[in-house]
Amino acid sequence: MPTLYRSSDLLSYWVAHSESLGWVMFPAKPNGWSEKRPYRGDTLRLQRIPQRLGFNTGFPHPDATPVRALPDPATRGFKQLPSQAQRRVA
């Protein structure tokens, strides 16, 4: 399982390390993990952070919950209205 790091020098990137991957960096944005590339910077200045912080980047971690599995708060608690009860509003 990769370990997640951040650097004050790379504000828009995160760094990860594992024995199989080595050191890689990837954008701190949704699906950024798919854009990972080798990291060749200073590893002594990296700060280890919880793996769960990379949840929306695609970073692999044990507590990952796919976005599709999360309930939609806008529809939670509402039942679907029967089709005859729905009406068009111009």
Map residue 2 onto helix, strand or coil.
Answer: coil
Distance CA 13, CA 15 (A): 7
pLDDT exceeds 60 at position 40: yes
pLDDT in tens, 63-79: 655 545 445 555 555 55
pLDDT exceeds 50 at position 11: yes
pLDDT exceeds 70 at position 84: no
At 71, list the tokens: 């309930």
More confident residue, 74 or 40: 40
Largest CA distance in the chain: 65
**Structure confidence at residue 56 (pLDDT):** 87
Please name which of 22, 19, 87, 17 lies closest in space to residue 51, comparing C-alpha atoms: 17
Query: 23 Cβ partners below 8 Å, 6+ apart?
Result: 15, 16, 17, 38, 39, 40, 43
Please name which of 67, 63, 24, 29 lies closest in space to residue 46, comparing C-alpha atoms: 24
pTM (two decimals):
0.66
